[in-house]
Structure 1
Amino acid sequence: MNETFKNLEETKQKRILSAAMKEFADKGYEQASTNQIIKDAGIGKGTLFHYFNNKKDLYEYLVDYAITIMHDEYFSLIDTSESDFIERMKQIAQVKGNYIAEHPNVTNFIGMVYLNDEVTLPKELETRLADLKKTGYSLIYKNINQKMLRRDINTDKALKLIQWSIEGYQNELMRLFQGEKIAHIDLQPYWDEFYEYLDVLKTTFYEEGQT
């Protein structure tokens, strides 16, 4: 039945997927309303179940879709040959920003899926979710040159503090822009400010001469 959905025009597919991911992300599996999804997607009553057998079938399709999108349009664009941790995090932030602008509901949906214990997923999806998590961790830390960090501080804690600082700034911007159309915002001043913060992080955590 999902094949019928895949044959829909792309704009209608995206509208349905976006509405469904937002509803599940906001309310969790049990409380999510298919009627609300239908309303938000602007489709006729009953149309949703022409494409999906039931709510669980829709949910599993969304999990599979979100994993594929994250891998193809986010993770695959990260260059792990960059060994400078802060430069790696800068690159991740730039790719993530573009990805979230294109797929605003995927990240929140996947986050809900990881925290959700209401649904037992097929083994294949469970494995793909576990692999996605490992890949995300690897993209942050693989091939990092830890010798750039100051020798008088704990390396693992320093890396975590840098990561949390950068992700915290991103989250603050996401809250600031909530409900706004990213395409209509001049992001350059925010990138300039972001790079200034990165310079502060390098001065704080890197050995002299490594900045």
Structure 2
Amino acid sequence: MPRPTWQNLDTDRRDRVLLAAMAEFGRHGYFGGSLNVVAREAGVAKGSLFQYFHDKSDLFGYVAEQASLRVYAAMAPHLVAAPDGTEFVDQFAGLVEIWIAYMAAHPLERGVTAATTLERDPQVRRAVREPVHRLYAQGIRPLLDNAVQRGDLRPDTDVDVLLHLIVMLLPHLAIAPFEPGLDAAVPLFGVPRRTRIANTRRLLDQVFCGVVTRAHRGVQWSR
């Protein structure tokens, strides 16, 4: 957590430090990220950073948390139960498209998502990813519970396992369409939008195939 001095800063300075840190960690990750660069880009002395945060990992954790909160705030209006007549998998595929579109339009948040997802140090990774995963679960679990109650998903659906698979998949879908080398058998990077949408749907169909109770319709994507 930041030191109390962080909360006493004016909003403009806090924003400059946060945006500079998001950009630096997003480009270079935790170990490669330079506090010298963060301080220079934010227009503050490097020593000031240690007045605001206990150490580099404290700053990185705060950046990861704030980036996740920004993403969650953007997605929250869409995390609602599917209207009557809408198949759950179709609704969820639409949510994923909104998720990917957000990441396309917000490279800072996308960079931080990549930095936290790909972090190699186990202690740092655990410190930043556990809160992020809890935030994902907070938004997604009610959708799954509602889908079970509505009968869109089987009554014996293991919601914990399904949530686990989705939380594993979402960070990949946030990064893979924009960065080479992350695709395996289903390409998401460097393909036309129509192909990427179809391949994303293929992935989701496999995640949900064992629990969907109805033969769902294909999504009518705009071209």
Residue 18 of structure 1 aligns with which residue? 22
Aligned length: 192
Q: Tell me the secondary structure at the aligned position of residue 147 of structure 2.
A: coil
Distance apart, 1:136 and its partner CA = 4.4
Residue 88 of structure 1 aligns with which residue? 91
Q: What residue ranges of structure 2 are gaps of 5+ in the alignment? A: 183-189, 218-223
Select the residue among 194, 202, 216 that pairs with 1:197.
202
Q: Is the 8 A contact 1:86 1:202 kept in 2?
A: no
Question: 1:1-211 alignment to 2 at 5 Å?
Answer: 1-2=5-6, 3-4=8-9, 6-8=11-13, 12-13=16-17, 15-22=19-26, 26-28=29-31, 32-38=33-39, 42=41, 47-53=45-51, 55-56=55-56, 57-74=58-75, 76-82=76-82, 84-101=87-104, 102=106, 103-111=109-117, 116-118=122-124, 131-138=134-141, 141-145=144-148, 147-148=151-152, 155-156=157-158, 163=166, 170=173, 172-176=176-180, 188-190=193-195, 192-194=197-199, 197=202, 206=212, 209-211=215-217
Q: Is the 8 A contact 2:153 2:213 kept in 1?
A: yes
Q: Tell me the secondary structure at the aligned position of residue 177 of structure 2.
A: helix
Q: Is the 8 A contact 2:25 2:112 kept in 1?
A: yes
Higher deviation after alignment, 51-60 or 191-200 = 191-200
Residue identity matched to 2:26 = K
Distance apart, 1:90 and its partner CA = 1.0
Distance apart, 1:166 and its partner CA = 6.9
CA distance, structure 2, for counterparts of residue 129 and residue 142 of structure 1: 20
- Determine what percentage of the aligned residue pairs are the same residue: 13
Distance apart, 1:187 and its partner CA = 6.3
Q: Is the 8 A contact 1:4 1:51 kept in 2?
A: no
TM-aligned CA distance change 1:86 to 1:168, over 3 Å? farther
CA distance, structure 2, for counterparts of residue 77 and residue 166 of structure 1: 21
Q: What residue ranges of structure 1 are gaps of 5+ in the alignment? A: 179-184
TM-aligned CA distance change 1:129 to 1:197, over 3 Å? closer
| Length-normalised TM-score, structure 2 | 0.55
CA distance, structure 1, for counterparts of residue 50 and residue 176 of structure 2: 36
Q: After superposition, what is the alpha-carbon deviation per residue over 1:77-111, rounded to whole angstroms, capped at 9, x for unaligned?
A: 33331274412321331221133221222323444
